[in-house]
Amino acid sequence: GAGVSQTPSNKVTEKGKYVELRCDPISGHTALYWYRQSLGQGPEFLIYFQGTGAADDSGLPNDRFFAVRPEGSVSTLKIQRTERGDSAVYLCASSSGRGNQETQYFGPGTRLLVL
């Protein structure tokens, strides 16, 4: 079956611009996660959705970052007034959310470059 997909695969933008990154989770998965992976680092948690609501957004670095999941499926990560330090690979993962420590399935990521 289809895995987690993310679009675009690459995004180049200029400092100060607005970007949207999209994540399509595995069908039926209620839990969705966003992570950010900077060069040479492991992924860092940003936000977690259970259904339509953000259950934990403690990893968002500041108020320029926002994410939505209006129908409990597709999610969009939005970054306002992008800065060069936002350059990273943004990963999305989903899980069934039906039990403790359920396996998270990751997408291939969106590579964001802010010039």
Partner 1 sequence: AQSVTQLDSQVPVFEEAPVELRCNYSSSVSVYLFWYVQYPNQGLQLLLKYLSGSTLVKGINGFEAEFNKSQTSFHLRKPSVHISDTAEYFCAVSRGISGGSYIPTFGRGTSLIVHP
In terms of CB distance, is 53 or 70 closer to partner 1? 53
Q: What is the smallest separation between the CB atom of 31 and partner 1, expressed in angstroms?
A: 5
User: Which residues have a Cβ under 8 Å from the Cβ of 51 and sit 6 or more positions away?
Assistant: 30, 69, 72
CB atoms inside a 10 Å sphere around CB 75: 25
Q: Tell me the pairing of strands 75-79 and 53-56.
A: unpaired
Q: What is the smallest separation between the CB atom of 13 and partner 1, expressed in angstroms?
A: 21
**Number of separate helices (H) and strands (E) present in the chain:** 0, 11
In terms of CB distance, is 19 or 92 closer to partner 1? 92
Q: What is the smallest separation between the CB atom of 88 and partner 1, expressed in angstroms?
A: 13
- Residues forming contacts to partner 1 in the complex (CB under 8 A) are 3-4, 31, 33, 40-45, 48, 50, 55-56, 59, 91, 93, 95, 97-109
